[in-house]
Amino acid sequence: MISLRKVWTVAERDMRMFLQYKFLLIMRAIWFLAQIALFGLVVNKMVSQAVQQAVGGDYFNFYAAGIIITMLYSTAVFIGYDIYEEADHGVIEYLLSVPVSRKELVIGRSIGGGLRSFMYVSPMMLFVLYIIGISNPLQLVVAFASLFLFTFGIAGFSITLAVSIKSSDRFDISLGVIDALIVRLSTTLYPIAYMPSYYANIAKFNPLTFAADLFRWGAGIESAFLTPPAIAVLGIVSFFSLFTFLGIFLHERKIEGGGWQ
């Protein structure tokens, strides 16, 4: 039986820990501003009228919504680095000794890792929504709920990766490569219609595509190139379920019993 109180206590710890990384938080915020105020504005001027129309009338809005998803991804994935930091300081042993089941621990960490990412990105999200405007609040609520699950899934994915790769250097390098592929093989920065078909076929199943298109739909961006919302929600729920389950399974198999050593 899983205790929600214990799950929340574990999640709360990860949220508090995140606030300690002030330098990271400031740098990520500067990165976001640079992407919006510099890159976004310049690229928007370079994009043809045809593309502007294809992505709902304004490429900048399309791009800004995508950048929010990359922010959610890059901050949710940070929980994996925490696991290595904890392994270095022996804190994993401590967490395994407290009166919390392994399932509660992994679910709590996925929720904490996701929720802290969502909370951190929220002001940026509101800023982007202010730029885009909100046309249908109900759609936005559905999108937000799905993005919650998306961040939990990303945190679960990061935990899965961290416990599967037993070297912080390899994890760091792997995450760099995954980051390059998962962002670029998605619709966060450009619409699927302009991708070569062999890339587009991969991008269709990318959780970042689901999340980005759902956020755009929630914000009222209308484009024929967006993933249908029902499919996007289903994709995110599947992604969340897969990596929460995998996280629990691998955590029990690899961490339990001293496997992190």
Partner 1 sequence: MAPIIRIENLTKKFASLVAVDRLNLDIEDGEILGLLGPNGAGKTTILLLLTTVIKPTEGTAFIGSYDVTREPDKARTLVGICFQEPKLLWVSTPWDVLDWHAKVCGLSSEERKKRVRWALEELELWNERHKIIHTFSGGMRKRVEIAKVLIQRPKIAIIDEPTAQIDIVGKHRIWNMIRALRDEGSTILLATNELYEADMLSDRVAIMHRGKLLVCDEPKKLKDTILGGDVIEVILEKNVSQKSLEELKKINRVVDVLTTEPNHLKIYLNQAEEVLPQITEFFMKARMPIKSIHMSEPSLDDVFAHYTGLTIEEAQRK
Amino acid identity of residue 21, one-letter, is Y
User: Which residues lie closer than 8 Å to 171 by C-beta, 6 or more apart?
Assistant: 80, 81, 84, 161, 162, 165
Nearer to partner 1, 93 or 222 (CB): 93
Taking the least distance from each CB to partner 1, the nearer of 90 and 123 is 90
Task: Report how far residue 15's alpha carbon sits from residue 44's, in angstroms, rounded to the nearest whole number.
Answer: 35
Residue closer to partner 1, measured from CB, 120 or 215: 120
CB nearer partner 1, residue 41 or residue 98? 98
- Considering all CA atoms of the chain, what is the largest pairwise distance in Å, rounded to the nearest integer? 60
Q: How far is the CB of 169 from partner 1 (least distance, A)?
A: 20
Burial, 206: exposed, middle or buried (Cβ in 10 Å; 0-12, 13-18, 19+)? buried
For CA atoms 67, 69, 72, 78, give the dihedral sign.
negative
Closer to partner 1 at the Cβ: 28 or 216?
Answer: 28
CB 250 within 8 A of CB 156: no
Closest approach of Cβ 163 to partner 1, in Å?
Answer: 15
The distance of closest approach from Cβ of residue 105 to partner 1 in the complex, given in angstroms and rounded to an integer, is 10
Shortest Å, Cβ 251 to partner 1: 14
**The pair of three-digit structure tokens given for residue 254, joined into one six-digit string:** 């690899």
Using CB under 8 A as the criterion, which residues of the chain lie in contact with partner 1 when the complex forms?
Answer: 6, 9-10, 12-13, 16-17, 20-21, 85-86, 89-91, 93-94, 96-102, 256-258
Nearer to partner 1, 34 or 98 (CB): 98
Please state the closest distance from residue 119 (CB atom) to partner 1, in A.
18
Burial of 168 (0-12, 13-18, 19+ CB in 10 A): middle
Q: In whole angstroms, what is the distance from residue 145 CA to residue 71 CA?
A: 17
Cβ at position 171, least distance to partner 1 in Å: 18
Task: Give me the least distance between CB of 256 and partner 1, in Å please.
Answer: 7
Q: Where are the alpha helices (DSSP H) in the chain?
A: 4-20, 22-33, 41-46, 49-54, 59-76, 79-88, 91-97, 102-132, 137-164, 168-184, 197-203, 207-219, 229-250
Which residue, 6 or 216, has its beta carbon nearer to partner 1?
Answer: 6
